[in-house]
Structure 1
């Protein structure tokens, strides 16, 4: 696994958040498939692995060559560490060996430090006394690029600092196109390493997973890259991370700015080059200057807050979108195993990438959903579960051996071990909070077709379209509509920091269970709509659309929709949510997914400055809110509920310049025969709500 630029933030925020983490019991959530729950196999450490395959033993020792210098075409020097198998004498073992390559933006020497703290050094000494803490430190070490698991089993591991990070020179900006040019040269260099087969597998989490997909998408056919294993990579950095359809994701930004973005780039040269003061100083200055460049993080944030171009989608962000290299990966026939998470802040993007790869490989447009009758390929797979951003595969009831799955994937494609991992008719795999394993051939899940549930009087969700000539419910604008840092929206978008801290105490993040928008009259009056109780286990699986017809009294509007499971005792468990600023409501039809009846199931709003639409006071207007996907089993007696609010602090803010038009806003949500608001939700046919 690899680390996002938010991963090290766990250490910075720990003291402030421990009290919040233990404010409530651990949070339930679930994944689903239309088969009855009794038929679901249960997850265990071997979930995701071929039946007759076992990881090979640790056969080798480890040797290392530090700070190998790889000059780029413009003279900037990247540096990499190479760890290779050794025999009992400590000499390089006879090969050749394939290569696993990580391109990190967090510093290879930070990864080395975490390795010393967790797997070596203090780790073995403290493992008996503090097992949960050491486990978390190992997970963070893995996320940072620690690859000795593979070296001990016959791989050469290369971890390279990308331009402007770690011990490498140059200046960094998010997913800059120059990284892809550097990657081409880096791949060519790695393929020529002594005692290697010249065949490479790329792996990494979050930013590092994004980098590997970008690399694979721009290489020529027949390149040394033979397999990919990206964890939590998303699909479109702007849409997934920065702007949730007009809502600026400040929870994510707050999780990464202080340490990973600002402090870590200045610490890494010291960790990696302290023996070479001249080089250390040069790299330190390069990294410092990056903060002042127009594309640097801080100038970009200021640009966005001042309504600059970075606040909108456009050429800058499209040139950094995985979505635009998917066809290249499929055309190059590079097998890809994606890891996603239902509590991941990229929970919408990674499944879109899976569907895009399957579509492109089959010759269809990569932008749309997979057809319900589509055949799928085991060369492109996705595993998702109730996991947060930093710790894929880790949760009390669903811990799996992610190392082993990755090893099986690389053994298949880099060692030609026909172990069966690619031989599956259902390449979409999901695990729910209770450990149920659900599989499908397609995304959206063909077994859970979308249906519409309509908003009705009395706060009801009904499968029947309303016929009343009049009827509406009011939402008043208030920016402080969430009002807490302990809710599912903040917890997910805060890069999974809460879960990492909770894991140190052997628990799960309790905040993940709480909906962001409770209805607390008269303090918060957010309309809620609830289905009748389900009579049998009923499955929710995939993307959700909320089509709202609303009248605003102001020239702006804002909507935040949450989905929750209501238990028979009235307690709520947050499932997912979505946001939309009214002027962002235009649809990119090429990227928008519609259900069979034409309803919008997965909206894609362009987010460009040019696509913004005015909100006309007093006019009934259609808003298609993208509610991020969920996988969940509703048990008998439980009900599906949505809450409609107008803000989502402290997770999101809206464009600062729009607040004068938002204050005093009142939105009348229509539920009439001519303007029927509804939820498009993928519910399996196990049962319909009781009438």
Structure 2
């Protein structure tokens, strides 16, 4: 594996060096109070600073991900705008777009032609315009020195909403379109509905014909915007105007990644999006965008209001799921909204794609799966499996992942920020302006940054330099490379509906879409809850089995997806498991790394989508999640459960240990199917750790020396 980092030089995306110096002054004081509050909320786990890394790996900086010698071009143009350009759809519904274009010194449109960067948003282009006045324009520059952290957060949210002036000033036309039923566009919205793809085809062809354009389009956007662009590219015909993609935090399978974590309903995520993005913004945005045209404003407002009450609307869907309706299970409804089902067409159409993921993102498993799927499909392999260890990779499909929350890609928790704007510009310059700047000329298209800024690169995902190995649950709370030899051995686990019992832990922080991190950034500190595992032990009230490795004697890297294969006996016709992974420092400091959940009746495997190692171990479980795939839990019977533990990239320093905790839930981040609680209450599980039923982890763990060459 090549470990590389470019020299410093490009501007930081969110927090400038000067801003960082200012915020550190009061950060030290603020963090003390924040950590005290967090520790009280989080239980009795020891808390402390994130452990410092040694010198084994080079560190990320603002130029990480950029080609050597390449720098962003200067701001050569001004910005003009056409507001609310109407785009009629086939059924008569009108979508509206804002087109921002380069201007010359006089303010007139600059002579083109220019390529296009296109964003399709569900959160309202006029919300982005309002935010732009609070961040990059308007009062933003006036308050940057007085309230640097506040303005930085405003910029982060503006970027997430589709801010494109960075590119316009460097010779691009920026188009932001409100998708059907959102923003200033008419019609009714349903999450990632197939109708959006039909609309997108018309939008793409319309944008390609804009005056002064080259007709070539790059799609980009974060979260829903990134999902939308991948689904759009996935339904296009060969030779379409789309020439490059830059999706940030897009995931792979919305049902699996966001809503239902193998039988655990993601309440934290729903709490993050239901009130404002899904309910309030669709009603506010028509007022922001169409207040000068009251007749159109009223029509769009009513359209959006109707959306909330359709069977496919978000609130009815949530109620349906809570009542054990069809929306609680995977089905053609959800499969029609899955990125996983279009990656082959993206690769077949040879559309270069640069993915951005986050290890503190709630889509931390899905985005790497999409990367592997694109690489596999481009090479003619099935997109469903892991990349083979000996696979040849292409620089046309890349992924950069780091210790970032959902709305803040590139904003480092403990190290220098990464210039995400510059990476995106380099990518689009390469494919839309034919600038052979070197960004695609890499043999290691997977780039990962851990929480301490260590940069790891590989040609494959899973990382071939860190082949998965088994660590067995052993007596005395040990994790051992040796399979148990004893004929008997087990540990008792009691179900509790509370379990985590706090909203201050890594799982809630991540699944709450990084809202905590946004709020704490306002006062110049990082989210103090993000380091706490969601499985505290509070004897005698709550005692979960804990298993720990010996201390590492050299720097050791955890790199990618993790499987937990548990053999357990339940005394009731139901079961539930939550596995957390953490780093234990020599002084006892606990740092949460990742976790995974599984309700017992969801344990069936989709073998076509499940990732196995050469010895047959499950490293990346994929549970169908359909109503038809549910399996009964038979009391008193040894049952195999394969838990998908979301991936992590982390360097364990010498003296540190890897620890897992096995619990029965992750409340209040997740809840189980309400109808299952009567069977779950009073249930206990014997976790087997003997020679006939040896529970184990399958994880990519290797000495750092094995990854540096």
Shorter-chain TM band: over 0.9
Cα distance in 2 between the residues matched to 1:266 and 1:283 = 9
Match of 2:425 in 1: 407
1:660 to 678, 698, 701: 678
Maintained 8 Å contact 2:554/2:703: no
Q: Does 1:467 align with 2:485?
A: yes
Q: Does 1:185 align with 2:199?
A: no
Match of 1:277 in 2: 294
Cα distance in 2 between the residues matched to 1:533 and 1:21 = 28
Cα distance in 2 between the residues matched to 1:41 and 1:376 = 23
2:452 to 434, 447, 450: 434
Give the direction of change, closer, same or farther, for the CA distance of 1:29–1:598 in structure 2 (3 Å limit). Answer: farther
Maintained 8 Å contact 2:223/2:250: yes
Match of 1:424 in 2: 442
Cα distance in 1 between the residues matched to 2:75 and 2:89 = 35
Give the direction of change, closer, same or farther, for the CA distance of 1:565–1:616 in structure 2 (3 Å limit). Answer: same
Cα distance in 2 between the residues matched to 1:44 and 1:22 = 31
Cα distance in 2 between the residues matched to 1:626 and 1:63 = 48
> For 1:192-591, what aligned pairs fall within 5 Å after superposition?
192-395=209-412, 396-591=414-609
Give the direction of change, closer, same or farther, for the CA distance of 1:27–1:106 in structure 2 (3 Å limit). Answer: farther
Q: How far did 1:20 drift?
A: 8.0
Match of 1:5 in 2: none
1:23 to 34, 38, 55: 38
Give the direction of change, closer, same or farther, for the CA distance of 1:604–1:382 in structure 2 (3 Å limit). Answer: same
Maintained 8 Å contact 1:475/1:666: yes
Q: Does 1:68 align with 2:68?
A: no
Q: Does 1:122 align with 2:144?
A: no
Match of 1:13 in 2: none
Cα distance in 1 between the residues matched to 2:536 and 2:435 = 52
Maintained 8 Å contact 1:116/1:122: yes
Match of 1:15 in 2: none
Maintained 8 Å contact 1:544/1:627: yes
* Structure 2 unmatched runs, 5+: 1-12, 14-32, 40-46
Q: Does 1:151 align with 2:173?
A: no
Cα distance in 2 between the residues matched to 1:612 and 1:622 = 14
Q: How far did 1:30 drift?
A: 9.5
> For 1:90-129, what aligned pairs fall within 5 Å after superposition?
90-129=107-146
Maintained 8 Å contact 1:106/1:265: yes
Q: TM-score, normalised by structure 1?
A: 0.95
Q: How far did 1:614 drift?
A: 0.2
Q: Does 1:595 align with 2:610?
A: no
Give the direction of change, closer, same or farther, for the CA distance of 1:288–1:365 in structure 2 (3 Å limit). Answer: same
Give the direction of change, closer, same or farther, for the CA distance of 1:39–1:644 in structure 2 (3 Å limit). Answer: closer
CA deviations 1:237-277 (Å, max 9, x no partner) are 00000000000000000011111111110000000000000
SS at match of 1:520: coil
Q: How far did 1:501 drift?
A: 1.1
* Structure 1 unmatched runs, 5+: 3-17, 32-36
Maintained 8 Å contact 1:30/1:432: no
Deviates more, 1:563-572 or 1:232-241: 563-572
Maintained 8 Å contact 1:313/1:606: yes
Maintained 8 Å contact 2:555/2:703: no
Cα distance in 1 between the residues matched to 2:228 and 2:643 = 29
Give the direction of change, closer, same or farther, for the CA distance of 1:29–1:160 in structure 2 (3 Å limit). Answer: farther
Cα distance in 2 between the residues matched to 1:202 and 1:26 = 41
Maintained 8 Å contact 2:322/2:328: yes
Cα distance in 2 between the residues matched to 1:430 and 1:216 = 25
Cα distance in 1 between the residues matched to 2:705 and 2:71 = 39
Match of 2:25 in 1: none
Cα distance in 2 between the residues matched to 1:19 and 1:683 = 33
SS at match of 2:517: helix
Q: How far did 1:21 drift?
A: 9.4
**Aligned residue pairs: how many?**
667
